[in-house]
């Protein structure tokens, strides 16, 4: 299969938004056997077959959707036909406001992700490198992390009103834990022999950070950022739906309130495409920045 072994990174392949990973248990480690699968050579015929079958799946799904609504198995007021939905999508794409809404949602997403990423990496590195802090914060982290970020929505509304800041509170809270915990794992994963070697060779603190801690923790950081990117999108849209700050989430909520069901379906498709792009881009960044790492190079066979 063409997916290189990076898909076997700590949290498994599903970069699906897990808002609050449940425990501090170490992440499932890389499976060497996956790497073996990844090393299989790409046969052109197999690739063609894969693409053909994949497109057949999509076309089949759209056909089934069209058939169900055409036969009237479900009321048209709750399930518009596939053709109508894509026609509506075309109409919306010609409207500048639609693109502005995408821009608003993605702005919340980007600001939240950057803030959570910086906070998570800095605090994670500090807490992870100082054993006293790591022990002292353990239970607090275990208690704060499982709190679903949506529980904070009412608080965010009260504190900031119907604005982007309220949405940012939710996004940053959810994404922070993703990055923070991965950085903790990453910093804890430093090989003891490598650390002692670095010490006895008299490397300075800065040099140890750059040449030992950073390379060890980077795969974990990238996993954390990839998970956080997916979570940030989910919560940016959720916040717009519940808080009501402008963006795609508010559009879908309003459309559903006035019974404009075709728009609802069209925007569901748009959000799916956005999520897909975010996943692909972050997988690409991860692969590029870890091109030196064995899980990407895939040289380690058993």
Partner 1 sequence: MTLYTSTVRTARRPSRIWTKAAGSIGFAIGLPLVLLVVWGIWGTLAPATFFPGPLTILDAFVDTWIGPAFVDDVLPSLGRLALAIVLSVGVGIAAGTVIGLTRWLRELLEPLLEFFRAIPPPVLIPVFVALLGVTDTMKVVVIVFGSLWPVLLNTVEGVRATDSVMTETARSFSLTRSQRLFGLVLPAASPRIMAGVRQTLSVALIMMVISEMFYSSSGLGFQIAYFQRNYLIAEMWSGIVLLGLVGVLLAVIFSIVERRVLRWYHGVKEVERA
- Least distance (Å) from partner 1 to the CB of residue 206? 29
- The span from the CA of 20 to the CA of 146, in Å, is 5
Angle at 298 between CA 292 and CA 302, to 5 degrees: 130
CB of 112 to partner 1, least distance (A): 14
CB-wise, 79 or 111, nearer to partner 1? 79
Q: For residues 104 and 118, give the distance between their C-alpha atoms in angstroms, rounded to a whole number.
A: 21
Residue 109: name the closest of 281, 231, 242 by CA: 231
The distance of closest approach from Cβ of residue 241 to partner 1 in the complex, given in angstroms and rounded to an integer, is 6
Query: Which of 114, 136 has the CB closer to partner 1?
Result: 136
The total of other beta-carbon atoms located within 10 Å of residue 243's CB is: 23
Tell the smallest beta-carbon distance from residue 236 to partner 1 (Å): 8
Tell the smallest beta-carbon distance from residue 62 to partner 1 (Å).
10
Coil/strand/helix, residue 142: helix
Instruction: Mark 261-276 as b/e (b = at least 16 C-beta within 10 Å).
Output: bbbbbbbeebbeebbe
Assess contact for 32 and 299: CB atoms under 8 A: no
Closest-CA residue to 117 (of 22, 208, 220): 220
């Amino acid at each position: 299969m063409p997916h290189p072994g990076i898909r076997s990174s700590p949290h498994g392949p599903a970069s699906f938004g897990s808002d609050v990973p449940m425990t501090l248990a170490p992440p499932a480690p890389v499976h060497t056997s996956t790497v073996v699968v990844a090393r299989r050579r790409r046969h052109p015929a197999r690739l063609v077959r894969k693409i053909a079958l994949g497109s057949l799946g999509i076309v089949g799904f759209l056909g089934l959707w069209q058939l169900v609504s055409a036969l009237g198995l479900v009321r048209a007021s709750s399930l518009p036909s596939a053709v109508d939905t894509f026609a509506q999508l075309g109409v919306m794409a010609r409207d500048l406001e639609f693109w502005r809404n995408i821009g608003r949602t993605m702005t919340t997403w980007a600001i939240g992700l950057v803030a959570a990423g910086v906070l998570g990496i800095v605090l994670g590195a500090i807490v992870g490198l100082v054993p006293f802090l790591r022990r002292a914060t353990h239970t607090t982290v275990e208690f704060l992390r499982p709190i679903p970020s949506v529980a904070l929505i009412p608080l965010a509304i009260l504190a900031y009103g119907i604005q982007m800041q309220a949405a940012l509170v939710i996004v940053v809270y959810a994404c922070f834990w993703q990055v923070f915990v991965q950085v903790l794992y990453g910093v804890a994963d430093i090989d003891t022999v490598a650390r002692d070697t670095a010490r006895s060779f008299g490397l300075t603190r800065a040099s140890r950070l750059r040449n030992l801690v950073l390379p060890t923790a980077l795969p974990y950081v990238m996993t954390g950022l990839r998970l956080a990117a997916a979570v940030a999108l989910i919560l940016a849209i959720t916040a717009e739906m519940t808080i009501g700050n402008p963006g795609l989430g508010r559009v879908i909520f309003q459309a559903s309130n006035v019974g404009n069901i075709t728009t609802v379906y069209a925007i569901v498709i748009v959000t799916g495409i956005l999520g897909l792009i975010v996943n692909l881009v972050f997988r690409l960044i991860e692969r590029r920045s870890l091109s030196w790492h064995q899980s990407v190079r895939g040289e380690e066979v058993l």
